[in-house]
Amino acid sequence: MLLLFYCRLAGDRKHDAHFSQQDGQRRAAVGKERQADTGGGDGIGDDRHIKDGLHPHLGNEAGDQHGAEAIAGLNNNGKAPPDEKVCNPRNIVRRGECWAELCSARILTAVAGSHGKSTVSALLAHAANRLSLDCGYLVGAIPNGFGMHRYCPAGKPIISEIDESDATIELFSPEVTVALNADLDHTDTYPDNSKLEDMFERLFSRTRRLVVYPSGDPILESAAAKVQTPSLPVKLSGDYFERNLEMALAALRATFPNGSFTKAAFDGFGGLQRRNETIFDNGKLSVVSDYAHHPNEVKSFLERFLPQSGAETIVYFQPHRYTRTRRFGKDFAKTLAWADARGAKVFVLPVYAASEIRDPLGESPQIIKNAPDGARIELAEPEDFFKVVQNALEKKSELRIALVGAGDFHFEAKKFFDKIK
């Protein structure tokens, strides 16, 4: 979706004075960063391809940046260039770099943070549609009921999440920054809390008008105190979805300061795929999938999921990446033990590696080894899940299942249920 949006917007970059003013500095910074990432290339030659069109390459090949989507140029005939050009790092632009260039020509409200970016962005996009607000948007997940993006010309407001995982967050200079939280996660990019705070401090200093953040977050509070940009701390309460609503409302008011908004702006919001998504429910068996892949995200989701029913409950967790599992194995074990103590049966599936090389110290058994004494957390394979489901369907048992994680098992489960619906 981002790539299609970019094709449409690429033409107006040469007409925008603000973009032209910032273009050289931004692309020079990107070039230096890409040179470090790929071992070659100055990143400057990408611009000629922008004028001719784009050819998307998706996947986790070794040449892709952090498993991100790579974008290479088309030739003047609109045909894909030879493979050697596509694979040449000099012709590759990461999606975050493209998006930063486009957003520099627009009045950006940036939704940042370790968790909740897609949900808050989608809430704002829903409000924009419902209230006919004059803005564009880009959501990083698939909303139910509307598309992931809406076009807007240069000079207009746009709402988008921005991502810290590959450091392209450093390329954005928003009008309004909405920072939802600051948890250590992508430690290959920001290895400790000090580096994470420095990143937010730089982002806040580049923000032109207002920084919105939750009061009580020590990293965000500290970063906001170090810059001159005005800030608005928001007092939050309730579970994670209520907190997201509060932050979305503050973001809506900050983006459109002349408006008068209440939470009614979000009425009718249908949620997103892989965010507390019910993928099967026949009145007896209910299966809910969630993208949570950080210990705090998993805990927040389970806090909302577990109290809903007295039925038997099973949690299947698929860790995402060996590096994350190795770094946060003890925290995952603590969170899953918490679910076990509340009556859920807890199973850990094999790690989804993404683009990473296997690391024995980052595999699922490490979570089991770190479990507190007495915790009943077991390893499982995907076929174990399907056996449990088939048995529940045959016996018409009351059972609630949570599939948690950012890996590929969600799609296997959806295919299975699509066949039996």
d(CA 18, CA 32): 22
Q: What are phi and psi of 408, to 5 degrees?
A: -95, -5
Over the chain (421 residues), what is each successive 10-residue block's mean pLDDT? Answer: 42 40 42 35 28 33 35 36 45 83 96 96 98 96 95 96 93 98 90 96 98 97 98 93 96 96 97 96 96 95 83 95 96 97 96 95 96 96 97 95 97 94 70
Q: Is 369 exposed, middle or buried (0-12, 13-18, 19+ CB in 10 A)?
A: exposed
Contact status, residue 257 vs residue 107, Cβ threshold 8 Å: no
Contact status, residue 157 vs residue 174, Cβ threshold 8 Å: no
Under 8 Å CB-to-CB from 247, ≥6 apart: which residues? 116, 120, 178, 180, 212, 214, 234, 236
Quote the pLDDT of residue 238: 85
Quote the pLDDT of residue 93: 77
CATH architecture for residues 106-271: 3-Layer(aba) Sandwich (3.40)
Dihedral over Cα of 205, 206, 212, 213: its sign:
negative
For domain 277-420, say whether CATH 3.30.413.10 is its number: no
d(CA 225, CA 146): 38
Quote the pLDDT of residue 149: 95
Residue type at position 199: M
Quote the pLDDT of residue 187: 84
Q: What is the largest CA-CA distance in the chain?
A: 67
Instruction: Please tell me the total number of residues recorded for the chain in this structure.
Output: 421
The angle that helices 409-420 and 382-395 make with each other, rounded to 10 degrees, is: 30
d(CA 99, CA 250): 24
Quote the pLDDT of residue 35: 35
Write down the domain spans for the chain.
1-101, 106-271, 277-420
